Amino acid sequence: MIKVRDAKFEDARILCAAEQAIAQTPGYLASRPSDLSVDSFQKKIASLTAISNGKYVVAESDGLIVGHALLDPMGLESIKHIVRLTIAVHQGHEEQGIGEVLLSHLIDWARQAPQVEKIELNVREVNLRAIRLYQKMGFNTEGRLRLRVRIPDGSFMDDLEMGLFVKSTPSSLTVVSLAIGKVISDRNQPEDDNWDRIQSYVQLDERQFSDDAFLGLEAFSHVEIIFFMNQVDVRKIETSCRHPRNNPDWPKVGIFAQRGKNRPNQIGTTVCKIKKIDGLKLHIEGLDAIDGTPILDIKPWVSEFGPREKIHQPKWITELMKSYWRDR
């Protein structure tokens, strides 16, 4: 049975050693082993014990410390209602529910703490186990910090910024955009036309999915792919109206009256023909997404989800689409 208690000054050595071990694997902590010292852990335990809007706890199993977590308030008066979460499950004790127990304990504490309104955290994009836990506990992705953490081999990782309002739910929540896979294609430039000839496949993330994730999909002829257009220049995102493709012969229409890529949330959807399924690879035809595009979701195309009556559309979009799939 896992028990949670307040951290003690004498726990510092065990907690420091645990984080140093975790930090050996890139992608879990921003800290490197050399950044961590027993003295810094002792100071943090002492400082959070002395205040009412901070908390430092450890998880024990059979008297052994198996994890720890803390909520550290922001320093400025205007943002001291926000606490920053750090959580660590000690090596050899993963996948035993320790992280969830620690996080549940701290969320319950924060909801009772008068000065705390929000919990924030940063998590490496590759730490899928942690991201899924935070999503389960109600955290929303609020941003992505590109190339934020440099790892020892010289490459970089993105950080996701996540947050949880512990007292109330804001009127507007963000959409979690954790990719489930990516596009593999010979086409690597976002050209506008002639997409029908493109043979590509979606590679599911093997860290997230088992080999039977596509089971049954082969019975469908078509599939709807939802993807994130990550190469859009965010400075060009449109929130008003424009001429589609900047063609003055076509009328100005709002961004939600066209399917241009410079959309506020950069989300694209396309119905494609299924060619074959090979393990975690979904081979498709006619996907208008370039190589490396993150995939957000995949759904079988069901005819009953199509229009249930005759459709109509303006002449300009018919003209625009003449060569979108095939050459004129």
On whether residue 102 sits in a domain, the answer given is yes
Residues 8, 45 contacting (CB under 8 angstroms) = yes
Number of residues assigned to the chain: 328
On whether residue 10 sits in a domain, the answer given is yes
Domain count, the chain: 2
Strand, helix or coil for residue 68: strand
Strand partners, 241: 254
| 179-223 tens-digit pLDDT | 899 999 999 988 888 898 889 999 999 888 999 999 999 999 999
Distance separating alpha carbons of residues 14 and 58, to the nearest angstrom:
11
pTM: 0.67
Q: Which residue has the tokens 């294609």?
A: 185
pLDDT of residue 175 exceeding 70, the answer is no
The DSSP output letter for 250 is: S
On whether residue 176 sits in a domain, the answer given is no
Per the structure, the complete domain to which residue 266 belongs is given by: 181-323
- Give me the half-sphere count of Cα atoms (radius 13 Å) on the Cβ side of residue 176: 18
Strand, helix or coil for residue 142: strand
Identity at 254, one-letter amino acid code:
G
H/E element, 99: helix 98-112
Rounded to a whole number, what is the distance in angstroms from the first to the last CA of the chain? 68
**105 and 156 inside one domain:** yes
Where do the H-state alpha helices sit in 113-166? 128-136
Distance separating alpha carbons of residues 281 and 278, to the nearest angstrom:
5
Boundary residue ending a domain (133, 165, 197): 165
**125 and 200 inside one domain:** no
Q: Could you give the percent of the chain with pLDDT greater than 70? A: 97
pLDDT of residue 29 exceeding 60, the answer is yes
Identity at 21, one-letter amino acid code:
A
Q: What is the pLDDT of residue 196?
A: 87
